[in-house]
A and B are shown apart, each in its own frame.
Chain A
Amino acid sequence: MPDTMFIHPDTLKEKGAIHFTDIPVNAYQKTVKEERKNYSDDDLKRIYRDITILRAFESMLNQIKTQGVYNGIETTYPGPAHLSLGQESAAVGQAYLLDTHDVMFGSHRSHSEILAKSLSAINKLDDSTLYDIMSSFMGGKTLKALESVYKAKDTKDLAIHFLLYGTLSEIFARETGFHRGMGGSMHAFFLPFGVYPNNAIVGGSGTIAAGGALYKRVNHKDGLVICNIGDGSLGCGPVWEALNFAAMGQYKTLWEDGNNAGGLPIIFNIFNNGYGMGGQTSGETMAYDMLARIGAGVEPSQMHAERVWGHNPLAVIDVYRRKKELLAKKEGPIFLDVLTYRLSGHSTSDQNAYRSKEELEEWANADPVLTFRKELVDAKVAPDSFFDEMWNETNERMTRVCAWASDKETSPYADFVNDPGFVERTMFSEEKVASYGSEKPEVLIKKEDCSRVKQIEGKSRFAFDKDGKAVSKMKTYNIRDAIFEPMLDKFYEDSSLITYGEDVRDWGGAFAVYRGLKEVLPHNRLFNAPISEAAIVGTGVGYALCGGRAVVELMYCDFIGRAGDEVFNQMSKWQAMSAGILKMPLILRVSVGAKYGAQHSQDWTALCAHIPGLKVCFPATPYEAKGLMTTALNGSDPVVFFESQRIYDKGEEFNEGGVPKESYEIAFGDVNTVRTGQDVTILTIGATLYKAIEAAKILEEKYGVSAEVINLHSLVPLDYTKIIESVKKTGRVVIAGDACARGSFMNEVARNITELAFDHLDGPPVVVGAQNWITPPFEFDEFFFPQAGWIIDAIHEKILPLKGHTPTVNNFLSAEQLRRAKLGV
Chain B
Amino acid sequence: MTVHALAGVAGLNALFLSSGAALLWAVRGFRDWVDVARLAGLAYIAGVIATGALWTLLLIAGVPFSLFLVLAVPVALTLGFVAIGRRSGRSLPTGGRLATGAPLIVTAVGIAVTGLLLEGLFRISRLSGLQWWDAWAFWIPKAKAIYYFGNLDEEFFTTLPGASYPPLVPVLDAAAFHVMGSPDVVTLHVQYWLFGVGFVWALAGLLAERVPGWILWPFVLLVLVAPRIGRRFHITEADLFLDFLFVLAAVLVVVWLLDRKRWRLVVATLLLCGMVLTKREGMLLAALLVAAALVASAREWRSTWPPLGIVAVATALVAAPWRIWYVVHGVAGEGPSDGGLDPTANAERLWPSMRLAFDVLLSSNYWSVLVPVTLGALLLAGLTRAWVLTSFFGTLVLLVTLGGGWITWAIPELPITQELGGNPIVRYMGSVALLCAAASALLLGAAWSSVTPRAKDDA
Q: A and B bound?
A: no
Binding site for B on A (CB under 8 A): none
